[in-house]
Amino acid sequence: MKYYLYIITNYKNTVLYLGVTNNLKRRIKEHKDRTNDGFSSKYKCNKLIWFEEFEDIRLAIDMEKKMKKWKRKYKENLINEKNPKWNDLNELI
């Protein structure tokens, strides 16, 4: 099974949300449809701007925990390496 660590943002790119899932396409659709109350729904985060695939859920969760402690600048640098224009990557999944 594959697992995904992902970052989404709002349309102004002012808020970053990190998450882990085993079905990235479904999870992003949930964010776009705002089916779950919470942080991403409150701040209208639904644009997928970065993701990484893992084969071990524990590694994905460990990386998520580390990244949540990072300063925003470090996360921005990570995003800019793969997606410098911060395009919505939803079409790639």
Total number of domains constituting the chain? 1
Domain residue limits at 22: 3-92
Stated pTM of the model: 0.95
Q: What is the DSSP secondary structure assignment for residue 12, as one 8-state letter?
A: T
What six digits make up the tokens of 56? Answer: 């071990």
Please check the confidence at residue 92 and state whether its pLDDT lies above 90: no
Confidence (pLDDT) at 70:
98
The residues, any chain, with a CB within 8 Å of residue 8's CB and separated by 6 or more, are 16, 17, 19, 28, 31, 40, 45, 46, 47, 48, 49
Mean pLDDT of the chain: 97
Interatomic CA distance for residues 30 and 63, integer angstroms: 22
- CATH number of residue 23's parent domain: 3.40.1440.10
Per-residue pLDDT of 46-76, as tens digits, reads 999 999 999 999 999 999 999 999 999 999 9
